[in-house]
Chains A and B, each alone.
Chain A
Amino acid sequence: MARREVVVETRNLSMHFGGVRAVDNVDFELREKELRCLIGPNGAGKSTFFKCLTGQLRPTSGDVVIQDIIMTGRESHEIAGLGVGIKTQVPNLFDGLTAVENLWLSSRRWHGDRRANTLVKETIDRLELGEIRSSIVGSLAHGQRQMVELGMVVAAEPWLVLLDEPAAGMTDEETFKTAELVREINKTSALIVVEHDMNFIRAISDIVTLFHQGSIFMEDKMDVISADPQAREIYLGHKT
């Protein structure tokens, strides 16, 4: 089978905060339509790595390459502007606006007025957000807010999706729904998903990248990683 094209690549990527090597010399590759999970104990550097990809942090050294363009140190809007859908670890919504408006703002960046409206409607049906469509998102429960954030990603139809802990704080049912959604997004887009929830990862993943102390410790199928004693210790030695 011919290997698909690499769409995201990091070369010797490092991000240091003073003496803390949050990300240390990471070489990473994601191919077209791939779904990759990043796991690792708290403080392993997953979110920092994620922020370097999305332009929220300027890496200390090394490069981020997206679709053969060097994007190191570019502004977030330039990276998102390539057609990348982003959900950060901390909830990041327009708290004072309605759920529909949140989705529309995301969709409208990529689509004309009419198409954006259609996409928003479709997304609301697909994610079953009908009940809360006109609610101010600041007043919603945590799980619902997460759903709205996922909806924002879906409604934009990005070709690359970056999700930092999409299932955090969700009920089992919501987590299940999210896993299903992620798989569906994966039919048309490549994804990088940072997650802690093992069931969630098992439900969606193909290849998993295990971070440890800022570096990639292992990269393999989930069963292989869970069978590896060292990886188990890194991962299960900590809570989660």
Chain B
Amino acid sequence: MRLYGTFNGTLVIAGLAIIFTLIAPSVFQFFTIITLTQVIGLSILALSLALVWGFGGILCFGQSAFFGIGAYAYSVAAVNIGGSTGSIFIAILAAAIFAAILGYFIFYGKVSDVYLAVITLTVSLILYSLMRRTSGPEYKIGKALLGGFNGTGSPPLNMPGDGSAMLFPMQTFYVSMAILIIAYVFTGWLVTTKFGRVCVSIRENEVRTELLGYDTRLYKLCLFSISSGIAGLGGVLFCVGVTRVTPDVFSLGQSALAIIWVIVGGRMTLIGPILATFVLYFLTSSLGSQQIFNANLVLGIILVVFVLIVPNGVVPTIMNWFERRRAKRYARQKERRMKLRKHRAIG
């Protein structure tokens, strides 16, 4: 598998995303724009999984644990502080620190990859049942009631420094897109740095990386925490979009969805999983509004089809196709030049 794209490619895609942001309000209905904020949150979750799994080779089955922690941390902090800006950072930190502690035991305890998948999933499910049990007035953090399976309200975003100046839905959409683009560019940059390249080498061959003198445990731990922080950020936008957070963010379904988006979009790219999130979200929600097909069944079929027919995911497959075409064209040109030269030599 080769590394797709360069940082320039990332910037080009970011540019397209900015254009999308600017024209979206005139193309989509207002309702869709409101929905988009939560989908953007979900796509950041997919992005974080693409980073840790696709680039680092760490299959984290319970990526939604960090997503949910971000959502809860934001909601609780924003209710207590009365502002969103600081709460966003608290949410990112909460997810990253939780991951750092969990990751320390996993990576330094030399737990194998399969167990890592199981452990992260288990942690997510534990949080799911824990949060479901928090109904009742005694489960309170500061001013915020946790609310059991009904969850807790998530305050909207506001102007930095002014907790009472709530953003309008359209503004929230712009801010969410800006956050997505920043997260995407940051991740795209990260994988081109020494740190990112060493993480890829760990995915390829951990023993070899170790024998080159890199402390692979430390690299994996850092990558795991960074990606979890990004997942936490996704959780923030998701709960802001929905206006509340429930224990469902920790559910098996949520974790499975993230994996499906990454597989369908292509786990060796960062943009693929993001796009897959948008497409599949709107596909399943439009299926949900009709009675003929069961949305989950369709999703399952899509997954099976992809695993069997396009195992690399959509974006890498398309890029490969272009790459091959370019290589062929290049070969043809070379051949023509050679022929020409021969002609000249004869003539």
* Residues of A participating in the B interface, judged by any CB pair closer than 8 Å: 54, 56, 75-77, 80-81, 84, 86, 88, 92-98, 101, 104-106, 108-110, 113, 136, 152, 156
Whether B214 pairs with A109 at a CB distance below 8 angstroms is: yes
Taking CB atoms and an 8 Å cut-off, the chain B residues in 186-202 that contact chain A are: 194, 197-198, 200-201
Which 9 A-B pairs have CB atoms at the shortest separation, nearest pair first? A80-B213, A94-B204, A81-B213, A96-B1, A76-B210, A92-B208, A86-B211, A77-B210, A109-B213
Partner of B208, one of A81, A94, A108: A94
- Chain B 203-224: CB-based contact to A (< 8 A → 1; otherwise 0): 1110111111111100000000
Name the B residues within 8 Å of A95 (CB-CB): 204-205
CB distance from A210 to the nearest CB of B (A): 26
Partner of B212, one of A75, A101, A105: A105
* Residues of B participating in the A interface, judged by any CB pair closer than 8 Å: 1-3, 194, 197-198, 200-201, 203-205, 207-216
- Closest-by-CB residue of A relative to B197 is A105
Known contacts A96-B204, A97-B200, A136-B2: A113-B194 contact under CB 8 Å: yes
Name the A residues within 8 Å of B215 (CB-CB): 75, 77, 81
C-alpha gap A56/B1 in the complex (Å): 27
Most buried by A among B200, B208, B215: B208
Name the A residues within 8 Å of B210 (CB-CB): 75-77, 80
Partner of A97, one of B201, B207, B214: B201
C-alpha gap A80/B197 in the complex (Å): 19
Name the B residues within 8 Å of A56 (CB-CB): 207, 211
Whether A54 pairs with B204 at a CB distance below 8 angstroms is: no
- Closest-by-CB residue of B relative to A108 is B194
Name the A residues within 8 Å of B203 (CB-CB): 96
CB distance from A212 to the nearest CB of B (A): 27
Partner of A54, one of B194, B198, B211: B211
- Closest-by-CB residue of B relative to A88 is B211
A-B contact pairs, 9 of them (CB 8 A): A77-B213, A81-B213, A92-B205, A93-B208, A101-B3, A101-B197, A101-B201, A105-B198, A109-B212
C-alpha gap A217/B210 in the complex (Å): 32
Partner of A80, one of B2, B205, B211: B211
C-alpha gap A196/B203 in the complex (Å): 32
Name the B residues within 8 Å of A81 (CB-CB): 213, 215
Whether A94 pairs with B201 at a CB distance below 8 angstroms is: yes
Known: A94-B200, A97-B2, A97-B200. 10 other contacts (CB 8 A): A76-B207, A76-B210, A80-B212, A93-B205, A96-B1, A101-B201, A105-B198, A105-B212, A106-B212, A136-B2
Most buried by A among B208, B210, B212, B215: B212
Name the A residues within 8 Å of B194 (CB-CB): 108, 113
C-alpha gap A74/B201 in the complex (Å): 22
C-alpha gap A93/B209 in the complex (Å): 9
Name the B residues within 8 Å of A54 (CB-CB): 211
C-alpha gap A81/B138 in the complex (Å): 53
C-alpha gap A39/B2 in the complex (Å): 38
Whether A156 pairs with B212 at a CB distance below 8 angstroms is: yes
Name the B residues within 8 Å of A98 (CB-CB): 2
CB distance from A81 to the nearest CB of B (A): 4
CB distance from B311 to the nearest CB of A (A): 15
CB distance from B162 to the nearest CB of A (A): 43
- Closest-by-CB residue of B relative to A104 is B197
CB distance from B104 to the nearest CB of A (A): 16
CB distance from B308 to the nearest CB of A (A): 22
C-alpha gap A136/B3 in the complex (Å): 10
Name the A residues within 8 Å of B1 (CB-CB): 96
Name the A residues within 8 Å of B2 (CB-CB): 96-98, 136
Whether A105 pairs with B209 at a CB distance below 8 angstroms is: yes
CB distance from A182 to the nearest CB of B (A): 19
CB distance from A203 to the nearest CB of B (A): 26
C-alpha gap A76/B200 in the complex (Å): 19
C-alpha gap A76/B216 in the complex (Å): 10
- Closest-by-CB residue of B relative to A86 is B211
Known contacts A92-B207, A108-B194: A152-B3 contact under CB 8 Å: no
Name the B residues within 8 Å of A152 (CB-CB): 212
C-alpha gap A105/B204 in the complex (Å): 12
C-alpha gap A101/B2 in the complex (Å): 11
C-alpha gap A84/B2 in the complex (Å): 28
C-alpha gap A56/B204 in the complex (Å): 18
CB distance from A102 to the nearest CB of B (A): 8
Name the B residues within 8 Å of A106 (CB-CB): 212
